Amino acid sequence: MSQEEFVVGIDLGGTNVRAAVVSRRGEIKAWAQAPIEAARGVEQGILRIQNLIHQVMEQAGIKQIAGIGFGSTGPLDRENGFIQNPYTLPGWENVDVRTPLSRAFDAPLIMENDADAAALGEAWLGSGKGTSRFALVTVGTGVGSAFILDGHIYRGMDGEHPEAGHQVLDPNGPPCYCGARGCLESLVSGPAIVESARRAIPQYPESLLARLEQNGHPLDAVQVVEAARQGDRLAQQIIREAATYLGLGLVNVLLFYLPECIALGGGVMKNYDLFIPHILQVLSQHDVVVPTRRVRITPASLGNKAGVLGAARAIWQQIRG
């Protein structure tokens, strides 16, 4: 056994599961990912996670770990280590993750919401490093949010995870699975951007997006972004509208939390450069009550390593007491 201790960080999403062996300093000694294939059932999924942990331990040349940090799509029962019927893992209802993994590796396991884990990773080693108040907003298939205060995850009542992605910005807007209309997620997520394009295409029959749809290409957010980069007027309008709503959502985050830094991550924010001018324009209009201009807005910097690093950080914090 190596004299240096290591933990394993897990990042479980609806499509893939990632694992990494991480040192106390945040060095990734080994990293791997695999499709989770949730439809094959819980037992197969747990076995796949176990195999992935064995794989990264073997790569790192270690036979024992000090703990497992497990970041997962929610909802979760963090205290007991259960996944509770998440929308992204159909069939995984009240799944006990802690017991089988803790037994298999003779190590404690701490569970965190995946957005919280990613934010903790960014605050530790990424865009939020050196800040005491940090927020992460991710825009992809959905909109996630997480808040870090003095290096630790900020939790709501009963340890619940705050959901800034479901703040209502337009009560007459599109419906969301959360039960509201016009929440941030229903206005700026990847699927929301695609839906905005589909609704607008009849008014823009000459647009590049209209031609793509007419040629039988199912629209996705990547195509909307690429059309905007090529100068398509409709696509640029859709991006501007989504960025404006995202800016308004960030204004609310600023008003209630006033972090030193907000990092923007997720698949849609890989196109940060297209969105940020409109976001900053919105923020500049709300610099009266709170000093929004002093808040640093930046892209998240750790990519798909943020979740495993944050999960590892969470278990290190528990081990250290």
Q: Which of 67, 73, 71, 111 is nearest to 92 (CA)?
A: 73
137 within some domain: yes
Q: Give yes or no: residues 153 and 232 share one domain.
A: yes
Residue range 168-191: mean pLDDT, rounded: 95
Token pair recorded at residue 76: 């979760």
Which residue has 């064995």 as its token pair?
54
Q: What average pLDDT does the chain have?
A: 93
pTM: 0.91
Strand pairing class (152-153; 143-149): antiparallel
Q: How far apart are CA 300 and CA 268, in angstroms?
A: 12
Please give the C-alpha separations between residue 184 and each of 13, 113, 208, 238, 253, in angstroms, as whole numbers: 21, 19, 26, 15, 12
Q: Give yes or no: residues 167 and 284 share one domain.
A: yes
- Cβ atoms of 195 and 201 within 8 Å: the answer is no
Which H or E element spans position 70?
A: strand 68-72
Residue range 100-106: mean pLDDT, rounded: 97
Query: CB count, 10 Å around CB of 99?
Result: 13
2 within some domain: no
Residue type, 287: D
Which region among 71-75, 166-170, 197-201, 227-231 has the lowest average model confidence (pLDDT)? Answer: 71-75
Higher pLDDT, 161 or 123: 123
Residue-wise pLDDT for 41-66, tens only, equals 999 999 999 999 999 999 999 999 99
In this structure, what CATH number is given to the domain that contains residue 181?
A: 3.30.420.40
Q: Give yes or no: residues 94 and 160 share one domain.
A: no
1 within some domain: no
Q: Which residues make beta-bridge pairs with 77?
A: 82
Q: Give yes or no: residues 311 and 291 share one domain.
A: no
Q: Give yes or no: residues 167 and 55 share one domain.
A: no
Higher pLDDT, 13 or 241: 241
Ranges 102-106, 213-217, 288-292, most confident: 102-106
Please give the C-alpha separations between residue 76 and each of 93, 116, 234, 272, in angstroms, as whole numbers: 10, 12, 40, 30
210 within some domain: yes
DSSP 8-state class, residue 175: B
- In which domain, by residue range, is 49 found? 7-119+305-319
Q: Give yes or no: residues 188 and 92 share one domain.
A: no
233 within some domain: yes
230 within some domain: yes
Q: Give yes or no: residues 143 and 275 share one domain.
A: yes
Predicted confidence at residue 289, as pLDDT, reads 76
Q: How far apart are CA 183 and CA 246, in angstroms?
A: 10
Predicted confidence at residue 1, as pLDDT, reads 39
Token pair recorded at residue 231: 């100068």
Predicted confidence at residue 2, as pLDDT, reads 47
91 within some domain: yes
Which residue has 């790192």 as its token pair?
60
Q: Give yes or no: residues 92 and 105 share one domain.
A: yes
Strand pairing class (82-83; 76-77): antiparallel
Residue range 132-140: mean pLDDT, rounded: 95
Q: Give yes or no: residues 87 and 231 share one domain.
A: no
Is the pLDDT at 217 greater than 70? The verdict is yes
Is the pLDDT at 74 greater than 70? The verdict is yes
Q: Give yes or no: residues 246 and 103 share one domain.
A: no
Residue range 304-312: mean pLDDT, rounded: 97
Domain tally for the chain?
2
59 within some domain: yes
Q: Give yes or no: residues 213 and 155 share one domain.
A: yes
Which region among 13-17, 100-104, 113-117 has the lowest average model confidence (pLDDT)? Answer: 13-17
Q: Give yes or no: residues 82 and 157 share one domain.
A: no
